[in-house]
Chain A
Amino acid sequence: MGFVAQGLQGLQRAVLPMIAVAYGMRDESFGLFAALGLGLVIAAVGGGLAYLNWRRLTYTVGETDIRVESGILSRAARSVPFERIQDVSLEQTLLPRLFGLVQVRFETGAGGKDELSLRYLSEEEGERLRDVVRARKDGADAENSAVAAESADAETTVEEPARVLFAMDLRRLLTFGMFEFSLAVVAVVGGALQTFGDFLPFDIWELEEWQRVFAGPFGQLESLGRTARIMGGILGVVSLLAVGVATGVVRTVLRDWGFLLERTAKGFRRRRGLLTRTDVVMPVHRVQAVRIGTGLVRGRFGWHALSFVSLAQDSGSSNHVVAPFGQMDELRPIIAEAGFEPPPEDLVWQRGAANARIDSAVASAVLLAPVAIAAILLGRPWLALLPVAAAVFLGLRQAYLWRFERHALSPAQLFVGSGWLVPKLSIASRVKLQSVEISQHILGRWRGYATLHLGLAGGTLSIGGIPVPRAEELRSAVLSSIARTDFSELGQ
């Protein structure tokens, strides 16, 4: 069945050459037939290859590992031990979904293309595989395979009911979409017009053509004078905004339709997507840090997004979004469920070094100064105001950053707040950090400030522009926490 879906997906690739041939031969009487023929050939070849691929790809679930053998001419065999599989996630794009097929991905931490994935399995087979891998993994962990696997099997059959941690209804989804304003579609349409503009009956980049087009139906509008033109301008802006909001809503609905985060016996389980449906499970102990982000406008309304940092990849991004759009009160229980604590009220926050901010502001001013001088020398003193204004803006930004970028250390966690207009808070467990680096550039050494980089599995975490003694204090505190627990004990 899988190769049918793959062949159909291959058809998508046949469409463009077909159009190209149809266009190239549009003067010939047999042009259309040639295009159809080409499409058929491409589909047949694609389908045949897909069938061969399907015939030659086999997987075996062994005692300790899963093996996949594939390849038509050159053969490849891969074995992945169960203990190394961090997570099994299921993904369904539109076409396979219509056929009831699913892609099973085994997350090992290898990242991206190196991950093992099996495409076009039936849904039941995908679920079964996931359960088998989990049961075997538990068995391998317990080092007593026979007994443990049995008990694990028993465990999976009487799995405790999942608790819903976060879900989004349609109303929430639409509100979320409103904030996901995006003009990407305008850019895409503009680019498409530039590329395929030749097909239009007139040249859209010629002003006179536009005037001629508008002179017809909009002739009387033109004669109405300035008010009408301003109205037209407002109308244009409003329609642009409408397009942006519509794009945001559509994209959000497609991506986050039926968003459901549950706490199961095995960890967090997230399902989402309208056309492409994904089903991801994250073991709780794999969560290395949590991040709370927000947006420029939505932050004013108290909406935040929560994501987990872990070694596993989530469709290209290393963070797993677990609550894309919620109020802080909704996010706190999820944070607690992951074993992290939201910043307590009495937490002592520390600011960075003021002289680091001053240096940054001065550096940007120094860079902008030649521009202003050049403008004055060229006899355009008014133009010189632009870089001056930019320098003032950047200086104010640094002052604001100094005021609001902060970090704090609690007995178990490290809090780092960053960002100017769009504040972001990272909460990392001190024990789960991997290494600590204090780095200084030459100015920093002279002026006595440093950047603290913390090794975080699956993400980056750093605190910039803090005084050297503070950096050393943080380092020794974090190191003493790390040294108490070995990496292999982190899972427990």
Chain B
Amino acid sequence: MDDTPPAVAGTEPPKPPSKPLSSQDPVPRPEDAPGFGDDTLTPLHPNHVKVLRIEISLFTVPFVIGSLVLETALLLPAGSFIVPVVLAAALLIIRVPLRRYHARGFAMGADRLRVVRGLLFRSDTVVPFGRVQHIDVNQGPLERAYGLATLTLHTAGSHNASVHLPGLLNEDALSMRETIRAHIKRETV
């Protein structure tokens, strides 16, 4: 199975988009708003891969320590615990973040945001700006170190009540928030 979307091929993360916002000047009517095909997906910032790698590394630390403990107990010949665990951890750390990164993307339309994610369970969510209740921009310590942020849109729906979009450059996330906020305001007033 190949999970990389057609937009981004290859193993190296591509260059970040300079400006992910499509700012069409006369705002198009909702009916002829861009219907997003798969080729219009914007990839996340490459630093997202690094953040994912660190997160997975932290996740594997307890397992490595556990295998070290078992190793010192000398139950089986040397290396029978630590070698497979370290190999599996290495595979996870090298491979999974890249694949995840390539599986994720977003598209900012004139009146809606599309968020695509997931390897085994793929989900493709569209949130119209007119239904956004409030907007969060969050930065965890790791994300802050790399200048990234997570944009979260909250809707009133029970399913997908909050849609998260991680791995955005902080400035991009903030400007996206402003765009969405301005849109809500314009439609309300």
Chain A positions near chain B (C-beta within 8 angstroms): 311, 318, 433-442, 445-446, 453-462, 475-476, 479-480, 482-489
CA A92 – CA B131 in complex, angstroms?
36
Could you tell me if A435 and B122 are in contact, using CB atoms closer than 8 angstroms?
A: no
CA distance A278 to B49 in the complex (A): 55
In the complex, A483→B1 CA distance in Å? Answer: 35
Q: With contacts A455-B131, A479-B128 known, is A437 near B160, CB below 8 A? A: yes
The answer to whether the Cβ of B158 comes within 8 Å of any Cβ in the partner chain is yes
CA distance A257 to B111 in the complex (A): 49
Q: How far is it, in angstroms, between the C-alpha of A440 and the C-alpha of B155 when the chains are bound?
A: 22
Which residues in chain B, 120-159, are within 8 Å of chain A measured between CB atoms?
Answer: 120-128, 130-133, 155-159
Interface contact B131-A482, CB-CB below 8 Å = yes
Say yes or no: is B184 at the interface (Cβ < 8 Å to chain A).
yes
Q: In the complex, what residues of A have CB within 8 A of residue B133's CB?
A: 487
Interface residues of B in 89-143 (CB under 8 A from A): 111-112, 118, 120-128, 130-133
> Once bound together, how far apart are the Cα atoms of A480 and B127, in whole Å?
12
Assess whether B182 is interfacial by the CB under 8 Å rule.
no
- A439-B121, A458-B158 known; A486 vs B163 contact (CB < 8 Å): no
Verify if B35 is at the interface (C-beta below 8 Å from A).
yes
Question: Across the interface, do A434 and B156 meet the contact criterion of CB distance under 8 Å?
Answer: yes
Q: Tell me if A441 and B160 are in contact (CB < 8 A).
A: no
Nearest A residue to B125 via CB reads A437
Contact between A485 and B130 (Cβ–Cβ < 8 Å)?
yes
Q: Does B33 belong to the interface (CB within 8 Å)?
A: yes
Instruction: Knowing A435-B127, A483-B30, A486-B130, say if A311 contacts B156 (CB, 8 Å).
Output: yes
Whether the Cβ atoms of B130 and A487 lie closer than 8 Å is yes
Alpha-carbon distance A282/B120, docked complex (angstroms): 42
18 residue pairs A–B, Cβ–Cβ below 8 Å: A318-B158, A433-B157, A434-B131, A434-B155, A435-B159, A437-B126, A438-B123, A438-B124, A440-B121, A440-B122, A442-B120, A455-B159, A457-B157, A460-B158, A479-B112, A483-B31, A483-B130, A488-B188
Chain A residues with CB below 8 A from B120, complex form: 441-442
**Chain B 31-56 against A: per-residue CB contact (8 Å), 1 yes, 0 no?**
10101000000000000000000000
Most chain B CB within a 10 A radius of its CB, from A436, A460, A462: A436
Tell me if A484 and B159 are in contact (CB < 8 A).
Answer: no
Cβ of B161 within 8 Å of any chain A Cβ, yes or no, is: yes
C-alpha gap A483/B114 in the complex (Å): 14
| Contact between A439 and B122, CB atoms less than 8 A apart | yes
Residue B187 interfacial (CB < 8 Å): yes
From B30, B118, B122, B123, give the contact of A480 (CB < 8 A): B30
Given contacts A435-B131, A442-B1, contact A483 B33 (CB under 8 A): yes
- By a CB distance below 8 angstroms, the chain A residues around B160 are 434-435, 437, 453, 455
**What secondary structure prevails in chain B residues at the interface with A?**
mixed
Q: Nearest B residue to A437 by beta-carbon distance?
A: B125
Residues of A within 8 A of B1 (CB): 442, 445-446
Chain B interface: which size bin? 20 to 34
> Nearest residue in B to A451 (C-beta to C-beta)?
B123
B131→A439 contact, CB < 8 A: no
Inter-chain CA distance A459–B161, complex, in Å, is: 11
Q: How far is the CA of A435 from the CA of B162 in the complex (A)?
A: 10
B167-188 interface code vs A (CB 8 A; 1 in, 0 out): 0000000000000000010011
Interface centre among B155, B158, B187 (most CB of A within 10 A): B158
Please name the residue on chain B nearest to A457 by beta carbon: B156
Contacts of A441 in B (CB 8 A): 120-122
Distance in Å: Cβ of B124 to nearest Cβ of chain A:
4
Indicate if the CB atoms of A462 and B156 lie closer than 8 Å. no
| Nearest CB of A to B183, in Å | 9
> Which residue of chain A has its CB nearest to the CB of B122?
A440
In angstroms, Cα B156 to Cα A433, docked, is 9
Q: Which residue of B has the minimal Cβ distance to A109?
A: B156
Complex-state Cα separation, A436 to B128, whole angstroms: 9
Q: Are A487 and B131 in contact (CB under 8 A)?
A: yes
Nearest Cβ in chain B — how far from A447, in angstroms?
A: 12
| CB of A188 to closest CB in B, whole Å | 32
A445 to B127, CA, bound (A): 22
**Shortest Cβ distance from residue B138 to the other chain A in the assembled complex, whole angstroms:** 19
* Smallest CB separation, B160 vs chain A (Å): 5
Contacts of B161 in A (CB 8 A): 455
B33 touches A459 (CB 8 A): no
Q: Is the pair A455, B157 in contact by a Cβ cutoff of 8 Å?
A: yes
Q: Return chain A residues, CB-CB under 8 Å to B35.
A: 476
- Chain B residues in 8 Å Cβ range of A437: 123-126, 159-160
Nearest chain B residue, comparing its CB with the CB of A453: B159
User: Which residues of chain B are within 8 angstroms of A480 by Cβ–Cβ distance?
Assistant: 30-31, 33
Say whether A435 contacts B126, CB under 8 Å. Answer: yes
A424 to B163, CA, bound (A): 29
For B35, the closest partner residue in chain A by CB is A476
Question: Which residues of B lie under 8 Å from residue A482 when comparing CB positions?
Answer: 128, 130-131
Name A444's closest neighbour in chain B (CB-CB): B122
Most B CB contacts (10 A, CB to CB) among A434, A445, A457, A482 go to A434
B157 CB contacts on chain A under 8 angstroms:
433-435, 454-457
With both chains docked as a complex, state the minimum distance between the C-beta of A246 and any C-beta of chain B, in angstroms: 37
Q: Tell me which residues across on chain A come within 8 A of B184, comparing CB atoms.
A: 486
B159 A483 Cβ-Cβ under 8 A: no
Q: Do A483 and B128 touch (CB < 8 A)?
A: yes
**How far apart sit A460 and B160, CA to CA, in the bound complex (Å)?**
10
Q: CA–CA, A453 to B112, complex, Å?
A: 17
Cα distance, A264 to B157, chains bound together (Å): 27
Is B159 in contact with A462, judged by CB distance below 8 angstroms? Answer: yes
Give chain B nearest CB distance to A462 CB in angstroms. Answer: 7
Please tell me if the beta carbons of A461 and B123 are within 8 angstroms of each other in the complex.
no
Beta-carbon contact of A456 and B159 below 8 Å: yes
Which of A458, A459, A486, A488 has most chain B Cβ within 10 Å? A486
Q: Please determine whether B159 and A439 come into contact, CB atoms closer than 8 angstroms.
A: no
Tell whether, in the assembled complex, residue B30 and residue A484 are in contact, meaning their CB atoms are under 8 Å apart: yes
Q: Is the CB of A459 within 8 A of B158?
A: yes
